[in-house]
Amino acid sequence: MQNTNTSLLSVKNLSTHFSTDEGTVRAVEDVSFDIAPGQTIGVVGESGCGKSTIGRSILGILDRNGSIVNGEVKWKFGADSGTEVDIAKLKQNGSEMQQIRGGEIALVFQEPMSSFSPVHTLGNQMREMIQLHQKVGKKEATEIAIGLLKQVGIPRPEQRIEGYVWQLSGGLRQRAMIAMAISNRPKLLIADEPTTSLDVTTQAQILDLLRGLQEQYGMAIMLITHNLGVVAEMADEVVVLYLGRNVETGSVDDIFHQPKHPYTQALLKSIPSVSGAAEGGRLPAIAGTIPHPFNRPPGCPFHNRCLEFMEGVCDVKQPQFLPIGDNQKVSCFLHHGGEE
């Protein structure tokens, strides 16, 4: 894995918990990964794996009942990335955090409709974002906004900017969301399921757009998704999560061609193939369901669905997340033994 010195963002042993009436939900437990400048990292997992919570922890926009209880989120702060700050320790509404949020790290949400305001014009919302981080007047901010909309491929931006977001189609809304996110030239763009609510042809357009913008600005992208096809296409590195824990991390090629963890292997096998295999056969499904966060199994969280479950080992201890090979890390007793 990357040396911490070269990485833009370094998440170490991050744990984020939510307190609810029913008890504490350990949404993220002991998760670590790094993002280098200009890199695309795919964060994948099924529902409840904590992938969205990680994005929100980094930006300090957790719900009121959630908090980072452990770990650090090291971020290279400032225009020259000179100082290193620990986001986990910053005040969520302090001035540094406000500069980072939306300025240095921006977020693209899954559902553009519910993340824009329906009662403010697109222009108002974009100007707010621009003027919060740049010292420009209203007129100048409008010009910047129009330029951004043009850049993300929205036709007739001069008119759209006076309209409302709900007047746009799903694909255009997502483009507007991306335009807003890149308005302050962030060093890292966190895209949380950016194409999940879109049709495949629109999804292809948006992925193309993201790639183009990344080439142009050299920003890093943290792509949070459950779609393994999207990850295979976009990511350089992949972080696989299950029930809030690191399962496996590695280069996209290693994850898809030499997955080491039984969960990664099973997940890859369970997707029906669009390119091969004739219709009719049974899919090798993963048995059982994802446990409820209150009913976390002891030991390895995947052990009760795992084909290679070892009694007395996997259900007793939590496997450590350790390197395997040059560029891959896995948390599984098959690779690291149960004794240590």
Partner 1 sequence: MVLKENTIQLNNPDNLLEVRNLKKFFPIQTGFLKRVIGHVRAVDNISFSAKRGETIALVGESGCGKTTTARSILRAIAPTSGQVLFGSKELGVVDVAKLNGRRLRTLRREMQMVFQDPFTSLNPRMTLLNLVSEPMLVNGVGTHSERVDRVAELLRLVGLRPEYMRRFPHAFSGGERQRIGIARALALNPSMVVLDEPVSSLDVSVQAQVLNLLMDLQDEFKLTYIFVAHDLSVVRHISKRTIVMYVGKIAEDAETEELFNSPKHPYTAALLSSVPIPDPRRKTQRVVLGGDVANPADPPSGCYFQPRCSFSEEICRTTAPRLDELSSGHSASCHRSREVELKGI
Least Å distance, CB 205 to partner 1, is 6
Radius of gyration of the chain (CA): 21
Least Å distance, CB 12 to partner 1, is 27
Name which of 79 and 278 has its Cβ closer to partner 1: 278
Q: Long-range pairs for 94-103 at CB < 8 Å and ≥24 separation?
A: 97/60, 98/132, 99/133, 100/59, 100/75, 101/59, 101/60, 101/61, 102/129, 102/132, 102/133, 102/184, 102/186, 103/132, 103/133, 103/184, 103/186
Name which of 69 and 268 has its Cβ closer to partner 1: 268
Name which of 132 and 204 has its Cβ closer to partner 1: 204
| Alpha-carbon span 54 to 60, nearest angstrom | 10
Report yes or no: 51 and 58 within 8 Å, Cβ to Cβ: no
Edge-first strand order for the sheet with 328-330 is: 105-108, 188-192, 220-225, 40-44, 237-242, 245-251, 328-330, 322-324
Name which of 42 and 60 has its Cβ closer to partner 1: 42
The gap between the terminal CA atoms of the chain, to the nearest Å, is 22
Least Å distance, CB 300 to partner 1, is 16
Least Å distance, CB 263 to partner 1, is 9
Report yes or no: 317 and 338 within 8 Å, Cβ to Cβ: yes
Name which of 179 and 267 has its Cβ closer to partner 1: 267
Phi-psi region of 60 (alpha: psi -120 to 50; beta: other; left: phi over 0): left
Least Å distance, CB 221 to partner 1, is 15
Q: Which residues pair with 67 in a beta bridge?
A: 17
| Alpha-carbon span 23 to 245, nearest angstrom | 19
Least Å distance, CB 248 to partner 1, is 15
Least Å distance, CB 207 to partner 1, is 7
| Alpha-carbon span 175 to 152, nearest angstrom | 6
Name which of 14 and 240 has its Cβ closer to partner 1: 240
Closest Cα to residue 123, out of 139, 109, 107? 139
Name which of 158 and 208 has its Cβ closer to partner 1: 208
Least Å distance, CB 285 to partner 1, is 4
Residue 153, burial from CB neighbour count under 10 angstroms (0-12, 13-18, 19+): middle
Name which of 52 and 184 has its Cβ closer to partner 1: 52
Name which of 51 and 101 has its Cβ closer to partner 1: 51
Least Å distance, CB 169 to partner 1, is 5
| Alpha-carbon span 133 to 145, nearest angstrom | 13
Residues interacting with partner 1, by CB under 8 A? 46-47, 169-172, 199-205, 207-208, 226-233, 235, 252-253, 256-257, 266-268, 270-275, 277-287, 289-290, 292, 305
